[in-house]
């Protein structure tokens, strides 16, 4: 992978990271604001607690994606980005375009899915 392509992926990953952090910040703010209008009964309070839990679970999913992004950024720094973790072959540029945090080439990923991994 040439330097220009590497920098393109680095910028894309950093933008993804920034978007997730901004989304998480907004979700956190929204969860604090639930039920602060002062006009809620027990059902409203239960609903607001449930909604806050959902907002936090979305954040957990984003945390997983954030870890994948950080892992990919580390690989960029080490020069191992775009290398399959299973067979150590290059991951196709099309796959990386579709999923910049891909850890496996399409062949290995399919084999893993068939095995239920």
Q: Domain segments of the chain: what residues?
A: 3-114
Which CATH number is correct for 3-114, 3.40.50.10420, 1.10.287.110, 1.20.120.910, 3.30.420.10?
Answer: 1.20.120.910
pLDDT tier at 63 (50, 70, 90 boundaries)? confident
State residue 101's pLDDT score.
97
**What global pTM score does this model have?**
0.72
Indicate the burial class of 60 (C-beta count within 10 angstroms; 0-12, 13-18, 19 or more): exposed
- With bands split at pLDDT 50, 70 and 90, how would you rate the model's confidence at 89? very high
- pLDDT one-digit tens code per residue, 4-55: 999 999 999 999 999 988 887 776 666 556 555 555 556 655 665 655 665 5
Burial-class residue 102 by CB neighbours within 10 Å (0-12, 13-18, 19+).
buried
């Amino acid at each position: 992978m040439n330097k220009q392509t590497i920098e393109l992926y680095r910028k894309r990953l950093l933008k993804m990271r920034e978007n997730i952090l901004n989304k998480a910040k907004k979700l956190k703010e929204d969860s604090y604001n639930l039920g602060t209008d002062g006009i809620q009964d027990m059902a409203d309070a239960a609903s607001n607690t449930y909604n806050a839990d959902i907002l936090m679970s979305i954040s957990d999913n984003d945390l997983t994606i954030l870890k994948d992004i950080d892992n990919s950024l580390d690989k960029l720094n080490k020069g191992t980005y775009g290398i399959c973790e299973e067979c150590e072959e290059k991951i196709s540029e099309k796959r990386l375009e579709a999923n910049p945090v891909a850890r496996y080439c399409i062949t290995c990923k399919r084999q893993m899915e068939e095995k239920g991994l």
